[in-house]
């Protein structure tokens, strides 16, 4: 949910008078136009987590991601005053768990600052420093919230080069972050336009850095990339385990509308793409869920079934009972460790069928269990 725009208010106003326009083009609005969501309208007992967006836009250009295509590559940050006002309201409503729903909570890297200084671009350097200073201002204010507050966000791996930033995250009660690992091979990172990530021991060390600074990592990996080979799956599981990730997800490459991957995939299928239940494959979101393929790309050396089964094996390896229990050692009590084990198994049950598009009834049942079990786990040290 998080912040919405004044533009959406116009859509609702038109609908109230029965005159909605066929198309609305909101564009990439400035941070000054962000307005808080009406959290007072949300049935409090139906939601455990709230969400607040503090920055829009991402300077990266990953091929699988729609964010930089829709929200742009120029980060636009809400002021800490506006963000804190919404977060304080959520605390007053009883929310302890809040997702900072930014696609990149660390929009200015140390490399960005170094390059701007090297290029003697004073205006650019000042702009980047202002963005960075605003991040630290926000985190210093989040740190003043009650100690039982739990934040979660998304961030690039480059944040591990910035120990000052990680320490500020920990102080700000940001307990965990989704980090896009994507691939453990140089060729895989090249496939997804993310060659600023690392591989091998450097990758493992960088991920461990988050944990050393008190930030737990949900590592996100993509499997079935054109350059992947059978041995890539075992290497991915080994890297996730060695990096001591708290959670991990292993999804197969899927072309989402608006992304570079989708445009390339749609063009490759031509003017008359295959159909399923009369629906073009390129409009896969309209295909009944039970009929949707598990894989949309033709892989050069592996079948869709081989990729599916190997991906499943990676999930099974990472989420074995023994490995989950070992990962839970950071939790102080046996009760908390047991809750962590159950949550890990539920997470695997929800998403291990090669991605998010799993049976909705199963996800609903799993969600109820997560709601019951997450509180004691977080209370016991997560």
Q: What is the CATH number of the domain that holds 317?
A: 3.80.30.20
Q: What is the pLDDT of residue 162?
A: 96
How many domains in the chain?
1
Q: What is the pLDDT of residue 45?
A: 82
Domain assignment of residue 29, yes or no? no
- pLDDT means over runs of 10, the chain (382 residues): 60 94 81 80 86 91 90 89 93 94 93 94 94 96 96 95 97 97 95 91 96 96 96 97 96 90 93 94 91 88 93 96 95 93 90 52 51 50 48
Domain assignment of residue 2, yes or no? no
Domain assignment of residue 155, yes or no? yes
Domain assignment of residue 313, yes or no? yes
* CA–CA separation, 33 and 7 (whole Å): 9
Domain assignment of residue 10, yes or no? no
Domain assignment of residue 4, yes or no? no
Domain assignment of residue 28, yes or no? no
Q: Which residues constitute the domain of residue 184? A: 38-379
Number of residues that make up the chain? 382
Domain assignment of residue 7, yes or no? no
Q: What is the pLDDT of residue 5?
A: 54
Q: What is the pLDDT of residue 32?
A: 78
């Amino acid at each position: 949910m998080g912040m919405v725009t004044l533009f959406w208010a116009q859509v609702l106003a038109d609908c109230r008078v029965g005159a909605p326009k066929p198309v609305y083009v909101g564009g990439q609005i400035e941070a000054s136009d962000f307005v808080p969501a009406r959290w007072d309208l949300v049935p409090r007992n139906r939601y455990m987590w709230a969400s607040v967006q503090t920055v829009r836009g991402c300077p990266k250009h990953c091929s699988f991601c729609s964010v930089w295509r829709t929200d742009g590559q120029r980060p636009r940050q809400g002021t800490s005053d506006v963000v804190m006002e919404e977060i304080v309201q959520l605390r007053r409503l009883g929310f302890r768990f809040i997702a900072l729903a930014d696609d990149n909570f660390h929009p200015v890297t140390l490399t960005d600052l170094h390059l701007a200084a090297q290029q003697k671009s004073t205006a650019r350097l000042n702009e980047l420093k202002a963005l960075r200073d605003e991040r630290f201002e926000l985190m210093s204010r989040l740190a003043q919230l009650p100690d039982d507050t739990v934040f979660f966000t998304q961030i690039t791996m480059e944040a591990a080069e910035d120990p000052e930033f990680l320490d500020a995250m920990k102080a700000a009660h940001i307990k965990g972050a989704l980090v896009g690992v994507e691939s453990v091979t140089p060729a895989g990172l090249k496939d997804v336009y993310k060659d600023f990530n690392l591989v091998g021991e450097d990758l493992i060390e960088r991920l461990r850095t988050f944990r050393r600074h008190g930030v737990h990592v949900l590592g996100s990996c993509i499997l079935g990339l054109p350059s992947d080979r059978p041995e890539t799956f075992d290497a991915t599981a080994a890297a996730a385990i060695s990096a001591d990730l708290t959670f991990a997800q292993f999804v197969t490459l899927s072309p989402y509308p608006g992304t570079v991957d989708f445009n390339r995939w749609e063009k490759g299928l031509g003017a008359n793409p295959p159909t399923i239940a009369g629906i073009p494959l390129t409009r896969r979101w309209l295909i009944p869920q039970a009929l949707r393929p598990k894989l949309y790309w033709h892989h050069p050396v592996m079948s869709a079934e081989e990729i599916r089964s190997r991906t499943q094996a990676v999930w099974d390896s990472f989420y074995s009972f023994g490995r989950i229990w070992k990962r839970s050692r950071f939790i102080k009590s046996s009760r908390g460790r047991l809750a962590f084990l159950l949550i890990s198994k539920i997470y695997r049950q929800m998403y291990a069928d090669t991605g998010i598009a799993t049976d909705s009834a199963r996800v609903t049942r799993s969600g109820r269990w997560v709601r019951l079990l997450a509180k004691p786990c977080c209370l016991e040290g997560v």
